[in-house]
Amino acid sequence: MSEPLATLLTEQTNPASAGIDQLSTAEMLRVMNDEDRKVAESVTPQLSQIALAVEGIVDAMRNGGRLFYIGAGTSGRLGVLDASECPPTFNVKTDLVQGIIAGGEAALSRATETTEDDPAMGMRDLLARGFCAKDVLCGIAASGRTPYVLGAIDEANQMGALTLGISCTPDSELSRRARIGITPVPGPEVVAGSTRLKAGTVTKLVLNMLTTGTFIRLGYVWGNLMVNVQPKNVKLLDRAKRIIGTATGASYEEAGRMLAAADNSVRTAITNWQKVKQEDTQRHG
């Protein structure tokens, strides 16, 4: 039996923002800023769980698995956002990390809240993407009780897949059903129940850790440099040259020539430089 909504921490009123509608604009924003300071701190107690999740995703991907996010409303949009950023950042295939949102693509720009109440729909949407036992499913629900998400988690569990659950309510149903529960608790929202605020922010922080941590472990980052960036526009081309310069000590102009010679692959340009340096060392060593 799901916990009644009125008892959930994400639905409680926040004493710090009582009367916020009567404050000046500057005072109102200060209250919001003070509350936002609590967000990052709420992730700290969950780092061990997040680490377990990253290691699980890494193992799955090394064995041909993929990562799927599923959620409704803000939670779903955040999952789709994180998934969509992986190909341009790490140059991975577009289907390696996928986001599923209740209501489909239309729900990305227009709210379709009624779809989140159907657990069978969550299961069907998951299966429609070809989800299988070697994949990882991460359910996202600030309340930890969204039927759409729980239905998908139950289906993935039955397959024997690794399931993760991100929620912002202590001992949530999602955290109990998922094999690895991640439960940062940033507290009641400035506007009661508006989980696009602190809950949304803390969810984004966790998603950042999951995919960035995974691709660092898989070798997609050199030092702290984005060596798999795809230089497909002026900004990214500039970034690619600066990355090569930082890694090799080359001038900006020389980095550009190295990048062109490597067919616009930053990683290849750095690797080619390392090979030449090693050969020079062997000849003169």
Q: How many other β-carbons are positioned within 10 Å of the β-carbon of residue 67?
A: 26
231 — alpha (psi -120 to 50), left (phi > 0) or beta?
beta
User: Which secondary-structure segment (H or E) carries 41?
Assistant: helix 25-43
**Mean pLDDT throughout 171-185?**
96
User: Token pair for residue 214?
Assistant: 């995974």
Q: Check if 116 is active-site.
A: yes
- Give the number of other Cβ atoms within 10 Å of residue 187's Cβ: 18
Domain chopping of the chain, boundaries: 5-217, 234-284
Return d(Cα 171, Cα 82) in angstroms, integer: 25
Higher pLDDT, 81 or 110: 81
3-state secondary structure of 104: coil
In whole angstroms, what is the distance from residue 4 CA to residue 149 CA?
17
Distances (CA, A) of 233 to 17, 237, 238, 251, 264: 43, 6, 9, 20, 12
Contact indicator for 207, 82 with CB cutoff of 8 Å: yes
Q: 3 pLDDT exceeds 70?
A: no
Predicted confidence (pLDDT) at residue 247 exceeds the cutoff of 70: yes
Range of weakest confidence among 10-24, 67-81, 104-118: 104-118
On whether the pTM is more than 0.95, the answer is no
Rounded CA gap, 71 and 147, in Å?
10
Catalytic pick among 3, 55, 85, 254: 85
85 is catalytic: yes
DSSP 225: B
Per-residue pLDDT, averaged over 233-262, amounts to 95
Amino acid at 66: R
Q: CA 192 from chain center: how many Å?
A: 25
| Angle formed at CA 123 by CA 1 and CA 47, multiple of 5 degrees | 70
90 and 121 Cβ atoms separated by less than 8 Å: no
Chain center to CA of 27:
32
Residue 224 buriedness (CB in 10 A; 0-12 / 13-18 / 19+): exposed
Model confidence at 134, pLDDT cuts 50, 70, 90, reads very high
Catalytic residue among 35, 116, 173, 189: 116
| Stretch among 16-20, 78-82, 90-94, 134-138 having the lowest mean pLDDT | 16-20
Q: Is the pLDDT of residue 98 over 90?
A: yes
Mean pLDDT of the chain: 92
What 3-state DSSP class applies to 96? coil
Beta-carbon count within 10 A of 55 CB: 14
Res 1: pLDDT: 45
Q: Does domain 5-217 have CATH number 3.30.70.60?
A: no
The one-letter code for the residue type at 201 is T
